[in-house]
Structure 1
Amino acid sequence: MVFGGSLSLLDKEGCPPSFENRCSCGMGFSRYDLFRTKKYTVNCTNTGFTSAAMLQDLPNKTEVLIFTGNTIPILPFNVFSNFRLFSDLETIDMSNNHLRFIQGRTFHKVSTVKTLILDHNYLEITDERERPRVFSNFENLERLHLTNAFSESINSSDYLLSLEDIFYESELIYLKILHLEQNEIWTIGDNPKIFCQLPALEQLHLGQNRLIDFDFRIDCLPSLQYIDLEMNIVPRLSGDAMTRLDAVMNDRTGLQIKMSENPFSCDCRSKEFIHWLNTTMVKVVDWQTYTCADGYPESNIGKQLGKVQDLQCPQYHNGKWTKNNGRSDLDSGVYQDEHDDRPHYHGYSSGTIGILSFFLVFTSSLLLAVAYFHRQVIKSTVLPYWNFLTRKIGYTGLSNDETPQEVNV
């Protein structure tokens, strides 16, 4: 085994022979600290490895490990040698490796690592055997990147529950930045305390998911300064969300939230939300430039939220839609009051009833036509069964004293 010592044992790229001249090893500026200083970097990008065995020979002086663009579905136990110290290792980038499982004993001797990047993988973390202490040896971890990291075959609500357990077991008490973009997350409300396991968290990135509201707790995160919710599907923040955000401002000097490129709806339901944008102490980054993707009157569509003045909703009354302070859905026939998020159904529209009636008549006519043209076949098939059933009904309908007597021959 090579320990990165003798130059005579290195390949032409400066790496141990087990790296097969596919990687580069040496000093270089690192993008992970914005190219400020040179770091001893082992770079295995798009090298086509199907095994991580060569990482057992990782040079002791490695500061940055880039091991990306390979095909390693399962990382083995002790992926780095358990017999050597990596006291200078600061950054591990294992993104885009088709990773599915990281076992609890995969990482050792990584207590100095501050940045771990696992973006663009297919991680499955809902199996009890695989998930308890995945990050437990990253004792000083400050930045964790999990963008597009999880398998789409598992519902986000399930793996978020598992992720909460992982955070709890791993005790990431120094984690400052967490990236969870592009993970098809619809809601975090099933476990709203998930991020409370990260007491030092300063930045939470949840962009490019499917969130419709801000539905998790942050009162337990005294250091939180920035929340990224851009490019989700938020039409407006709920009253509970706005109250929750305002409440934390009593305990800290500042909080920023970014919600650009969401499909905001500008009708009567958004009055409270737009009023909040104008008055809250929370800094909603560049909210005046956010635009209405939908709204009523229709002239609101495309307007910037900061310029919307007229907020109405239509109401179905006397056979037509009229402007009102209530809310309705023209397509479904669902009406809602401005302050009531529960749907009130007023039945199907006349157009819908007409279409359903037409299909019912058409289907009935078709069945009758088929029966007429095949009447002889139907008769020959059904009649024997009919005779049998009527005989059966006749006998079973008799009372005990009417049971036919046995005839003596």
Structure 2
Amino acid sequence: MYDHRKLGRELGLFDSDPLIGAGLPYWLPAGAAVRHALESYIAEVERRAGYQQVYSPVLGKRELYEISGHWAKYHEDMYPPMDMGGEQLVLRPSICPHHALMYRSRSHSYRELPLRFSELGGQYRAELSGAIGGLNRVRAMQLNDAHIFCRLDQVAAEAEGALRLINQAYADMGISASRYVLALPSEDADFNSPSSKYVGDAASWAQAAGLLRDVLKNAGIDYEDAPGDAAFYGPKIDIQMMDSAGREFSLSTIQIDFHQPAAFDLEYVGADGNKHRPVMVHRAIVGSIERAVAQLIEVHGGAFPAWLAPVQLVVLPISDDEDKVAVEVARRASDRGLRVEVAHADEGSLGARIRENRLAPYQAVIGAREAAAGLVAVRQRDGQQLAAAEIGMALDELRDSCQPPALRSQCVSAGAGSRSRSVPR
């Protein structure tokens, strides 16, 4: 594997500056292109799976996190409150309390459930200086987060659907998990103690853990129990990755939460006309964008899948005589949504330019014959040379090949809980 901290900077994907601060990397144009492609992908996958995108502020009143339980159980990892006009505002460590308030802002019927809110939003953790580094451990992250509000009988199907989306995303990204973990409370957890690191009661924790075990079992996935690694509000499935130094970290997660729906007094009207409490399923398909890109760099060494590559097509005129045609080919490629650059003839020999742009999935060589006939000869990253083809036809094929596999199909299903009105057929 490659070290993303070194290679990411060499490839001009990201960097950092002491004046911004440790654990706060910035994205350069090439890295921003990868990030945007990943964000666009997950937004479309979620849309097809029946999720509704929302946005929420990165700040919240301290009282919000007191209600959610974060302040009592997690405040050591939070930034200190900021005094503003008699109120205390906090940079959020998690998005879930905001989504709980969104749900609570409207009345809901059992017919609406499951209700899936997704957000690519900022989260902030007061990480110690010795723990931060690269993109894997940062103080400000963009999380591909979502919260599903559902009936108890829908929880398993929603968690199973989230697991399928995670596995599909990994396949499209060309990465794989090192292991799956069922994060549980400590074996000696005393839920009745005021000093307990967990909220809720033993019965609800056991129920949530049983549901997640069934999800893993039904998916045929081997997993390991991890006592003590649960969130303070519930057990979770953590999908683990390994970095270039052999350190393990969590990328994606699925969590079942009975606590926050009760803490925020969330309700829906059931078929019986009475009020009932929904269950909250937390899930992150690609986790934080920072960690996802770090893993992509380390696995692929900069030779990203075509749909994620910062530059998908490089156009190479053999000589200055073909430069105008090359620029026009690049314009037409850009009009089709491809990320394209021209490696002009005055930048070096053809061989040198091909080597310099070896990480691009496709290279289009334009010589005198191709320019005169309106053709391009496409060379793939593996060195395979494709037959020369008419420019428009060749670019249409490249556009299609630069789509992620999951989005070439008609529908991505979130599971048995999908509602047909939310999922295209």
TM-score band, normalised by shorter chain: under 0.3
Larger radius of gyration: 1
Q: Report the TM-score when normalising by structure 1.
A: 0.22
Larger strand fraction of residues: 2
Q: Report the TM-score when normalising by structure 2.
A: 0.21
Q: Which has the higher contact order (CA 8 A, sep 6+)?
A: 2
Larger helix fraction of residues: 2
